[in-house]
Structures are given as structure tokens and as C-alpha cells.
Amino acid sequence: MQVKGRIIRDPGFKIQLGEPIFLDGKPVFKKTKIYLMLHKPAGYVTTRQDEKGRKTVYDLLSGIPEWVFPVGRLDQDSEGLLLFTNDTAWGDKLSHPESKIPRTYHVSVEGIPSPGDLQKIRCGMDIGKGEHSQPANVKLLGPDSSMATLELTLTEGKNREIRRIFERLSKPVQRLVRTRFGPFRLNGLAPGRYKRIDAKWELF
């Protein structure tokens, strides 16, 4: 590595911000960090490639030539806010369980959850496979004769957790939409569309 024409072999050498760096005579460019929000429609899987030939979320990011990865996942039938970045530290901070970043969903279920059902969700409950959900905020938004819509906020991301919660309550999920992830909200972003977002640490 060369800095200011000087060959550097010390791995602990400190480089001043903005100094040009060369490796094997070629300039090393600082990678531009990318932060995206996608409104994932139902029917797309959260992988780059799918062995079954299903549509993937990367089909919706054709305008982004750089490599990015999803921060967390949404299953094929779920919709809503999905974040992408090439900043591994940022992605790890958002998705690590110890960060307890809130994620809010609108959930339509078959049947009307009882006050007892809502209390179980608020306290945390057995969701099968030896796992227990953490306490969550939940409120009933729009019950009708056969279905209900709820707003549910979690601070963890167990596999298919919301669907498993309502399966245990015998209220199968009919539609699941993530509307918020930490400080980021859909705010009218159309399904299938994405936009660049500001990712300042002070938001956390």
C-alpha cells in the first residue's frame, strides 16, 4: 500500500481522512454507501436468486447496479417496508436483537381476537418450536364480522413470528404489511417502488 508515495507495511498505520491510497499502483476508491427503502409487494422472495424460479426483490432493484443486501427479511406472502444497504455495520446494528429496533406491522387476520388474545401478545407467548415471543405492542384497528386488522410492533425478528403468533391463537393471517422499521416508514411509497434514504446514526 502507498500513501503520499510512501510504501506502508505497518497494518496499524493511521491514514488521514481524504488521503489518496494506492494498492499495487492502482488507486483505492472509497466505496459509496447505499441505503434504500423498498415497498415489497406480495409474491416476491427476499433472496438474490431462487432455485424455484420465483420473483425476487432484486427484480425490483434493477436500477441499482451496486451490490446491496436486505436488512432482515419479509416472507414471500408478506408486504411492506424492506431496507437494503451495502453498509454491513449499519445493517448489523438495525437487525441485531440487542438493538431492539421497533418494527411495526398491519396484520389482517381471520376472526376477531379476544381481549385475552391481545393480552397474550402483549405479555409474550409460546409460538411453538420451543420459542417464546417477546412482549409486543398491539391494538385492534378495524374489526368486522369475520376479520380484524391489528397494528403490531415487535422489537425482535424470529422466523415468521407474527404468523406463528396468530396460528397459535387460531386466527390465521390473511395479509401482513410492514409499515415501519426503526425511524423509517413507508409514508405512501408505492408497492414495487424504492427510494434512497438518509441513514444518520443519530436516528437511533
Domain boundaries, given as residue ranges, for the chain: 20-99+186-199, 102-181
Is 117 labeled as catalytic in the residue annotation?
no
Fold classified for 102-181: Alpha-Beta Plaits (3.30.70)
Read off the pLDDT of residues 96-139 as tens digits, 9 standing for 90 and up: 888 899 999 999 999 999 999 999 999 999 999 999 999 999 99
**Domain 20-99+186-199 matches domain 102-181 at the CATH topology level:** yes
Closest by CA to 103, choosing from 41, 161, 171, is 161
CATH code given to domain 20-99+186-199 = 3.30.70.580
Residue 203 has pLDDT above 50, yes or no: no
Give the residue carrying C-alpha cell 405512501: 188
Compute the distance between CA of residue 60 and CA of residue 38 in angstroms, rounded to an integer.
Answer: 8
Which of 72 and 138 is assigned the larger pLDDT?
138
Which residues are paired to 181 by β-bridges?
103, 184
Taken in order 91, 97, 100, 104, the sign of the CA dihedral is positive
pTM of this structure: 0.82
Residue of 50, 75, 77, 87 marked active site: 75
